[in-house]
Amino acid sequence: MITLPDNFDAKLKVMQWHEKLKNMGASEEVTDEDARQMIFDLETAYNSFTRFLHNS
């Protein structure tokens, strides 16, 4: 089984968003700008991950 490298950019982006959301309070909201950026980052990470799988 192949594992992702620790410095894999897609993995790092997902971890950054996880940290940001985890540190938000229950009453805090994600801004429209953050939501758009998160969607872009997650789509990019997903595409990078699927490329990694196909090339492995």
> Could you state, in chain order, the average pLDDT of each consecutive group of 10 residues for the chain (56 residues)?
85 96 97 98 97 91
pLDDT, residue 6, reads: 86
Does the pTM surpass 0.95? The reply is no
Any domain includes 19: yes
Inside any domain, residue 33: yes
The answer to whether position 28 is within a domain reads yes
Q: What is the CATH number of the domain that holds 38?
A: 1.20.120.1130
Q: Which amino acid is at 17?
A: W
- C-alpha dihedral sign at 49, 53, 55, 56: positive
DSSP secondary structure string, 1-56?
A: -----TT-HHHHHHHHHHHHHHTS-TT----HHHHHHHHHHHHHHHHHHHHHHHH-
The total number of structural domains that make up the chain: 1
pLDDT value at residue 1: 57
In a domain, 4, yes or no: no
In a domain, 37, yes or no: yes
- Examine residue 51 and state whether it is found in any structural domain, yes or no: yes
Residue 26 resides in a domain:
yes
- Closest of 4, 38, 3 to residue 18, by C-alpha: 38
